[in-house]
Amino acid sequence: MLIGFERDLATADQFLVAFCGGLAKVLNDFNPYSNINHWRAKAMNSFKNVVERIKALDSERRNLLLEIEELKKMADSKAKALENEVGMLREEVKSLRVLLSSDQPEPEFEPKRKQFKK
């Protein structure tokens, strides 16, 4: 049975053995010459993953660009349809004004402007 000081030394020795063993394992894992093929395979896997990610992102980019073009065309067609509708409504307003007041000249349409206080 160990007492006091001897017990502390035994625990310290166990700690050093465990620490040095762990340190040796860590250093061995990071030693590039310990297992070159392992590191080569790891690097190739990493490189392949990056290439796959690039291909996937490039494909997604193309799909998004196509979707953007389609949405632009849809917005343009809606704008043209609204322009045509507004033009027809203006013509209808003109014809109604002519019908209601055939003897008076047609007033020009001017948008109201806000007057600023001085």
Has residue 26 been placed in a domain?
Answer: yes
Structural domain boundaries, residue 27: 10-100
SS3 content of the chain, % helix, strand, coil (to 5): 75, 0, 25
> Is 112 domain-assigned?
no
pTM to 2 decimal places: 0.45
Contact yes or no for 39/32 (Cβ under 8 A): yes
Give Cα separations from 47 to 51, 56, 83, 93, 118 (angstroms). Answer: 6, 14, 54, 68, 69
1, part of any domain: no
- Asked if residue 53 belongs to a domain, the reply is yes
Q: How many domains does the chain have?
A: 1
Cα–Cα distance, 97 to 104 (Å, whole number): 9
> Is 69 among the domain residues?
yes
CA distance 97 to 89: 12
pLDDT tens for the chain, 118 residues long, are 445 545 555 565 565 555 555 555 555 555 555 567 777 778 888 889 999 999 999 999 999 999 999 999 999 999 999 999 999 999 999 999 999 887 665 566 666 666 666 5
